[in-house]
Amino acid sequence: MTNTEIWEWMQRDLDGDLSPDEQRALFALLEKDTDLQQKYNRLKSVSLQLEQLPPVVPSISIVDSILPKLESAVATPAAKADLNAGVLPTLEVKSKPASPSEPRKWKNKTVWFARIGSTAVAACLLLGVMLIGKEANEQIDPATQGSIVAPPAAEPPVIIGPPAPQPSTNPTPLPEQGEEPPVQEETKQPPKQQKKAQTPSKPVTKAPEPPPAKVGQPADSVPVMVPPKPVPREPKPPAFPFGLEEKSDDDKGKKSKEDEKEKKKKDNKKDDGDDRDDDRDDDHDDDKEMGKKKSSREYGRTSLA
Amino acid sequence: MPEAELIRLAQTGDHEALVQLLRSIETSVYRSAYYILGNEQDALDASQEVLIRIYRKLDTYQEKAKFSTWVQRIVSNVCMDKFRAKKETVSIDEHEMIIPDRNNVEDEILLTGLSHDIQEAIGKLPKQYRVVVVLRYLEDFSYQEIAETLELPLNTVKSYLFRARQQLQELLYDYQKGGIG
């Protein structure tokens, strides 16, 4: 037996791995060799020291120290369940049966979407056709009415002469109320101050025509001045007060205005005396109207301002 | 309650059984970690990590192996990870560990006698030898159980243990010589 084999037997004996026969043979060899016996004694002392190592105990309870972490990990079963769920590739199993069913579902869905879409489109087309037909029928009637309505818009010049007195009767209450009502209206309906303030100012200036003119035009001070001209046109060209004031409103040069006044005066002097009476009457009426116009203009200015 | 029953309940999600099971292995885990790593702080850290791993991986445990073998395998793995981490961070740690140990030995040798010599000698063993010695003497594992724990061949385990004992004997003999001298 070699030294290495004896050394191995000695080691095995320390671990109690030798059979009784092996142990007896080993002790017989050790009795013969003191050096081997000394080696065996040293190894046995080491083994005894290892067996007698002091029991070490943790200074703190490790489980208690990690319990908060463990509990914060949301209860082990849940976490484990999640882990298992995450680990288990059940998705593949599900995907296999799901994969064939999904296409069918999608096909069915697409078919249904197509059907619904086609029906919806057809319904929209029908509704559109119906609406268009109704509108066409409605538009035909209004077209005839529009032709009736159109003449009044074109007639006004014809009506301008006769209706003038009628509107004048109507507007007369308006002008009296014209200056006041707007204020009342303004107080009543502040949000529409400009529109309503302008609308009454126009009828004040021109009773008959303004309503249609207002509908067609956007209520400005300048267009309001245009209608008065035609009224004097019937007897004769526009009265100078209008022109003067209008020109002054237009902010033209004073010299040019004075020249025009002189020319107009000369022309008026040249006209007949009958015309002068008519003119005077007209002038009086005009003056009255002018007073109203001035007031309206001033009102309009104020309102515009 | 027997250990097998605790394990079964813990695996079914019984939190109290799991905590009780951890408490039952707490000391052995710390003791192995302490003698493998050589100091209290590292042993505490390693023990915490070991218990947390056991807590999380208890479902993977199968009754084919002994529960203590399974636990000590985790201990050895965690301790090996600690060794690697120490080597990667500070290589001077080995020298630092020796110096305070000598100071401590000088302070406490009178109280503990030879136990400190053997502890110091264990600290000088290679890691693999240390683990085998710990498993053999502190956990009282057989060769076969050590082999299963460390997943090593049986002869390798024997070789490690025999060499470890031989080195310890030489180291202790040197200490005795120095003490006598």
Which pLDDT value is given to residue B42?
A: 93
Which amino acid makes up residue A194?
A: Q
Which pLDDT value is given to residue A258?
A: 64
Q: How many beta carbons lie within 10 A of that of residue A204, not counting itself?
A: 25
Closest in B29, B48, B117 to A65, CB measured: B48
Confidence of residue B3 (pLDDT cuts 50, 70, 90): confident
Lowest mean pLDDT among A125-129, B21-25, B126-130: A125-129
CB B13 within 8 A of CB A80: yes
Q: Say yes or no to pLDDT of B161 above 50.
A: yes
B3-176 adopts what CATH topology?
Rna Polymerase Sigma Factor; Chain: A (1.10.1740)
Instruction: Tell me the C-alpha to C-alpha distance, in Å, between residue A118 and each of A103, A106, A112, A226, B77.
Output: 22, 18, 10, 59, 69
For A222-242, b/e burial (b = at least 16 CB within 10 A) is eebbebbeebbeeeeeebbbb
Closest in A7, A58, A75 to B26, CB measured: A58
Q: Does the CB of B108 have a partner CB in chain A at under 8 Å?
A: no
Q: Does the CB of B97 have a partner CB in chain A at under 8 Å?
A: no
Contact A57 B27 (CB under 8 A): yes
pLDDT one-digit tens code per residue, A203-229 = 444 444 444 444 444 444 444 454 555
Locate the domains of chain A by residue range.
1-76
CB B133 within 8 A of CB B122: yes
The label of the residue with tokens 């209860």 reads A75
Q: What percent of chain B has pLDDT over 90?
A: 60
Which pLDDT value is given to residue B101?
A: 47
Give the B window 39-78 contacts with A, CB below 8 Å.
40, 43-44, 47-48, 51-52, 55-56, 58-59
* Shortest Cα–Cα distance, A66 to chain B (Å): 7
Lowest mean pLDDT among A250-254, B34-38, B73-77: A250-254
CB A20 within 8 A of CB A53: no
Q: How many beta carbons lie within 10 A of that of residue A274, not counting itself?
A: 8
How far apart are the C-alpha atoms of A229 and A219, rounded to whole Å? 17
Tell me which chain B residue has its CA closest to the CA of residue A82. Answer: B56
> Which three-class secondary structure state does DSSP give residue A120?
helix
> Which three-class secondary structure state does DSSP give residue B66?
coil
Model-level ipTM above the cut of 0.95: no
Q: Say yes or no to pLDDT of B57 above 50.
A: yes
Which pLDDT value is given to residue A270?
A: 54
CB B139 within 8 A of CB B92: no
Contact list in B for residue A52 (CB cut-off 8 A) is 115
Q: Say yes or no to pLDDT of B44 above 50.
A: yes
Locate the domains of chain B by residue range.
3-176
Below-70 pLDDT ranges, chain A: 73-107, 138-305
Phi, psi of A127 (to 5 degrees): -60, -45
Q: Say yes or no to pLDDT of B143 above 70.
A: yes
Which pLDDT value is given to residue A141?
A: 52
